[in-house]
């Protein structure tokens, strides 16, 4: 039996059978969209939206990437690593964020403490 | 001068001009019909055959003589950044595989002699900006070409015999979306099918059907919302315009059912990964609704890309447990035909050949993102939908109960073997705004910390089970690093397990008894195959740590993982004396 013969039936069946949960999505929660250069840049939000994929617990703990809290490298080193990345270990975010935004990220990393929420 | 040396000298001169090393050595063509024929001497497609068994009937190496298995040859690729995560293929004694930065190798399967090397000219500045990069997970063979998706959004066709580029087609605007292709394509009839990276990136997660001969794009299927103006259009399952940034995609090669002329493909999760709407996800949050066709199994017409059917394994996936595992194990039991598909959340879904759920069972012990899945309908029971704020002990962790490394089905034992992962995590769900300009960025939606279940360290297992009922026949536990290479089983009653600590093990496929072990010196993160060359059976396995799953092994278990290099890899090939 070829599925294509029964395609209309299957499509209908799919709509009836597989759409397990009826949906009435609200349009009032339209997903906001931001450019990286937006003036409301927030280092903490950016960190947990992007950086937390590799640096766990806001970077207070290692994960796929190293722990960032108490990092002994200089601010300049951190700035350059965020901006330029390192092949195979970390993406370069220089094209996504401005220098000022990256400096804000470095400040956020420097503010991390083990006993208080960032 | 030896042949190998002559080829090398010629290759260096040629490479200086074109980037391609060439020799006159050729292999026979791979066709749709030859893949259907499934000659065990070859491994012509990612999953071994269209049946996705990752099994070979070869039995020259078997449970009685495997203790005599030794390294025959090896090959070290350049720029093995993030190790080796691809999957070798073999046809008529020639082995093809890739390393990072879309470097493609054709080697003599008996000696390892380099036949040609193809190095894709990449937009390296773009690649440097990618987080899920620069690895490649494999290629497809067919119509005289080796097909490879590139990090910067192209599909290329390289001549199997000469290593010369025949065509390349730009499919994804990677400068805008940041991501491109890392997964293997699937060659079916006269088409090459490939899914883009997606998931946590705010795009529409397209899957493409491309003319194999010319490289012309024939069809596109958008996994985020389906295609406008067709019956697949389900943008109504996304609140507002959230379908525009819905994620999805299909980053692992799917499978093909010749009896129904249907491509089966697993799709990735929606974006953001985690959703602050909690139980009100149908009407609130960043992507209200079921979010079709993310975290789903879709059945496509290979000629047109038309959607024939689907089953969304996790409606409104709020846990990053996508359906991207590409293996769709086609098998028969008591006269009935099934398709077995693992989901990243740790469940195994069993379908009939039309896509209707026949059974669902848990493949791992630690699952609490749902209380269960109805085995008759596939409906989720007792969802754990999390609101903004902190949550503890979500199981499995983000890396999944199952990962993208393939399992294997052995028709002789009737058992399905797969690596399972027992780990959990604490997380803080956060409200996010997707960053789209100037380049799309990850859209995670949570801050998390992985740990073991309860007071245990994370652990895992290889379980051999009935693929339909899930009943376990035997199991092997791993307490200090869980295998992340794919599995291979053979007609010689062998199961090969590329382990995390560097050992490659061969075990009795019927009992799990370890028969042979060899230390390859680094973690396995890629594929393993067996094939014939010059009348002899070989086993080829990729060695080299660096996937986004095993990157966390040092933090979870310490040594030897903390000090394992992630910038090197090697292809090792074994045979009997």
For residues B292-305, average pLDDT: 98
With cut-offs at 50, 70 and 90, classify the pLDDT of residue B28: low
Omega before B279 within 30 of 0, i.e. cis? no
Q: Show residues of chain B in contact with A29, CB under 8 Å.
A: 239-240, 283-286, 288
DSSP B43: B
Predicted local distance difference test score (pLDDT) of residue B326? 82
What residues contact residue A9 under an 8 Å CB cut-off, 6+ apart? none
Q: Show residues of chain A in contact with B315, CB under 8 Å.
A: 20-21
Q: Show residues of chain A in contact with B82, CB under 8 Å.
A: 88
**Test mutation, B103, B128, B484, B558, chain A, max A CBs within 10 A:** B128
Report how far residue B563's alpha carbon sits from residue A64's, in angstroms, rounded to the nearest whole number: 13
Which H or E run contains A9? helix A7-13
Q: Show residues of chain B in contact with A47, CB under 8 Å.
A: 447
The 10s digit of each residue's pLDDT in B73-110 is: 999 999 999 999 999 999 999 999 999 999 999 999 99
Gap between the terminal Cα atoms of chain B = 27
For residues B212-241, average pLDDT: 98
Query: Above 70 in pLDDT, residue B25?
Result: no
Percent of chain A with pLDDT over 70: 66
Burial label for B327, CB within 10 Å (0-12, 13-18, 19+), is buried
Q: How many residues does chain A have?
A: 118
Interstrand relation of B435-437 and A34-35 (parallel, antiparallel or unpaired)? parallel
Closest residue to A95, CB basis, from B129, B231, B311? B129
For residues B327-340, average pLDDT: 97
Cα distances (Å, whole numbers) of residue A23 to A20, B150, B234: 9, 37, 11
- How close B436 gets to chain A, by Cα (Å)? 6
**Test mutation, A13, A23, A91, chain B, max B CBs within 10 A:** A23
Query: Is B320 a residue of the active site?
Result: yes
Closest residue to B311, CB basis, from A18, A53, A57? A18
Q: Residues B92, B320, B385, B501: which is the catalytic one?
A: B320
Report how far residue B87's alpha carbon sits from residue B574's, in angstroms, rounded to the nearest whole number: 16
What residues contact residue B17 under an 8 Å CB cut-off, 6+ apart? none
The 10s digit of each residue's pLDDT in B121-148 is: 999 999 999 999 999 999 999 999 999 9
**CB within 8 Å: A62 and B316:** no
With cut-offs at 50, 70 and 90, classify the pLDDT of residue A115: confident
Which residue in this structure is represented by tokens 């001009």? B17
**CB within 8 Å: B555 and A57:** no
Predicted local distance difference test score (pLDDT) of residue A26? 40
Chain-centroid distance of CA B47 in Å reads 9
Q: Show residues of chain B in contact with A63, CB under 8 Å.
A: 449-450, 551-552, 555
CB B80 within 8 Å of CB B129: no
Q: Show residues of chain A in contact with B449, CB under 8 Å.
A: 56-57, 61, 63
CB B463 within 8 Å of CB B477: no
Closest residue to A88, CB basis, from B290, B447, B567? B567
CA angle B45, B48, B52 (to 5 degrees): 105
The 10s digit of each residue's pLDDT in B371-397 is: 999 999 999 999 999 999 999 999 999
Query: Above 50 in pLDDT, residue B199?
Result: yes
- How close B575 gets to chain A, by Cα (Å)? 32
Percent of chain B with pLDDT over 70: 95
Predicted local distance difference test score (pLDDT) of residue B16? 34
- From B444, which residue of chain A is nearest by alpha-carbon distance? A49
Query: Dihedral sign, CA of B320, B324, B329, B334?
Result: positive
**Test mutation, A31, A82, A87, A89, chain B, max B CBs within 10 A:** A31
For residues B526-537, average pLDDT: 98
With cut-offs at 50, 70 and 90, classify the pLDDT of residue A45: confident
Report how far residue B522's alpha carbon sits from residue B564's, in angstroms, rounded to the nearest whole number: 7
- How close B13 gets to chain A, by Cα (Å)? 28
Compute φ and ψ for B431, nearest 5 degrees: -80, 135
Task: State ipTM.
Answer: 0.73
Closest residue to A31, CB basis, from B237, B240, B307? B240
Q: What percent of chain B is helix, strand and coil (3-state, nearest 5)?
A: 10, 35, 55
Query: Above 50 in pLDDT, residue A5?
Result: no
Report how far residue B366's alpha carbon sits from residue B345's, in angstroms, rounded to the nearest whole number: 10
What residues contact residue B476 under an 8 Å CB cut-off, 6+ apart? B461, B462, B463, B497, B507, B512
Query: Above 60 in pLDDT, residue A38?
Result: no
Predicted local distance difference test score (pLDDT) of residue B27? 56
**CB within 8 Å: A35 and B129:** no
Closest residue to B449, CB basis, from A61, A91, A92? A61
Cα distances (Å, whole numbers) of residue B306 to A94, B127, B296, B328, B346: 40, 32, 16, 19, 29
Q: Show residues of chain A in contact with B307, CB under 8 Å.
A: 11
| Residue B68 CB neighbours (<10 A) | 11
What residues contact residue B440 under an 8 Å CB cut-off, 6+ apart? B176, B177, B178, B179, B201, B202, B203, B434
**CB within 8 Å: B100 and A25:** no
Report how far residue B66's alpha carbon sits from residue B69's, in angstroms, rounded to the nearest whole number: 5
- How close A101 gets to chain B, by Cα (Å)? 14
What residues contact residue A2 under an 8 Å CB cut-off, 6+ apart? B260, B261
């Amino acid at each position: 039996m070829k599925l294509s013969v029964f395609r209309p039936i299957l499509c209908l069946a799919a709509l009836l059978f597989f759409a397990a949960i009826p949906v009435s999505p609200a349009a009032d929660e339209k997903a906001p969209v931001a450019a990286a250069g937006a003036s409301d840049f927030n280092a903490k939000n950016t960190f947990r939206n992007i950086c937390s994929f590799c640096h766990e617990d806001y970077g207070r703990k290692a994960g796929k990437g190293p722990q960032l809290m108490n990092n002994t490298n200089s601010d300049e080193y951190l700035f350059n690593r965020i901006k330029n990345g390192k092949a195979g270990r970390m993406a370069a975010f220089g094209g996504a964020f401005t220098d000022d935004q990256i400096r804000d990220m470095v400040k956020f990393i420097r503010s991390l403490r083990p006993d208080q929420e960032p | 001068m030896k042949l190998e040396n002559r080829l090398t000298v010629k290759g260096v001169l040629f490479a200086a001009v074109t980037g391609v090393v060439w020799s006159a050595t050729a292999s026979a063509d791979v066709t749709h019909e030859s893949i259907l024929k499934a000659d065990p001497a070859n491994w012509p497609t990612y999953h071994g055959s269209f049946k996705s068994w990752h099994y070979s009937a070869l039995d020259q190496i078997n449970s009685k003589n495997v203790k005599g298995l030794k390294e025959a040859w090896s090959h070290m690729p350049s720029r093995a950044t993030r190790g080796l995560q691809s999957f070798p293929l073999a046809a008529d004694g020639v082995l093809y595989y890739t390393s990072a930065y879309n470097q493609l190798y054709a080697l003599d399967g008996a000696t390892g002699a380099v036949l040609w090397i193809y190095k894709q000219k990449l937009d390296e500045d773009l690649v440097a900006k990618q987080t899920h990069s620069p690895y490649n997970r494999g290629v497809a063979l067919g119509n005289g070409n080796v097909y490879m998706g590139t990090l910067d959004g192209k599909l290329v066709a390289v001549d199997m015999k000469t290593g010369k580029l025949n065509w390349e087609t730009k499919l994804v605007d990677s400068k805008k979306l940041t991501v491109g292709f890392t997964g293997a394509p699937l060659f079916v009839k006269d088409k090459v099918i490939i899914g883009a990276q997606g998931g946590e990136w705010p795009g529409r997660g397209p899957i493409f059907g491309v003319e194999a001969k010319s490289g012309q794009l024939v069809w596109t299927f958008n996994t985020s919302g389906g295609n406008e103006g067709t019956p697949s259009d389900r943008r109504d399952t996304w609140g507002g315009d959230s379908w525009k940034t819905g994620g999805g995609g299909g980053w692992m090669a799917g499978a093909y059912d010749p009896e129904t002329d249907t491509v089966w493909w697993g799709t990735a999760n929606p974006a953001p990964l985690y959703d602050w709407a909690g139980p009100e996800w149908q009407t609130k949050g960043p992507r209200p609704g079921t979010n079709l066709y993310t975290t789903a199994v879709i059945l496509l017409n290979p000629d047109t890309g038309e959607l024939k059917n689907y089953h969304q394994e996790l409606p409104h996936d709020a846990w990053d447990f996508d359906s991207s595992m590409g293996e769709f194990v086609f098998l028969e039991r008591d006269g009935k035909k099934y398709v077995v598909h693992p989901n990243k959340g740790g469940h195994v879904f069993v379908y009939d050949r039309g896509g209707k759920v026949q059974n669902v069972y848990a493949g791992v012990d630690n699952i609490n993102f749902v209380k269960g899945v109805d085995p008759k309908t596939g409906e989720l029971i007792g969802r754990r939908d999390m609101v903004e704020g902190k949550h503890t002990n979500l199981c499995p962790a983000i890396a999944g109960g199952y990962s993208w490394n393939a399992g294997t089905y052995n028709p002789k034992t009737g058992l399905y073997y797969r690596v399972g992962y027992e780990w959990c995590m604490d997380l803080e769900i956060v409200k996010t705004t997707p960053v789209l300009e100037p380049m799309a960025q990850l859209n995670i939606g949570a801050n998390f910390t992985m740990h073991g279940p309860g007071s245990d360290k994370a652990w895992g297992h290889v379980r051999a089970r009935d693929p339909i009922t899930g009943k376990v026949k035997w199991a092997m536990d791993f307490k200090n690093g869980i295998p992340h290479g794919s599995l291979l089983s053979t007609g010689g009653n062998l199961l090969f397990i590329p382990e995390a600590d560097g050992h490659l093990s061969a075990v009795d496929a019927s009992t799990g008894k370890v028969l042979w072990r060899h230390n390859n010196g680094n973690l396995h993160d890629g594929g393993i195959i067996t094939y014939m060359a010059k009348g002899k059976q070989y086993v080829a396995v990729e060695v080299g740590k660096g996937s986004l799953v095993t990157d966390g092994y040092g933090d979870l278990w310490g040594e030897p993982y903390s000090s394992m290099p992630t910038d090197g890899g090697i292809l090792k090939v074994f045979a009997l004396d």
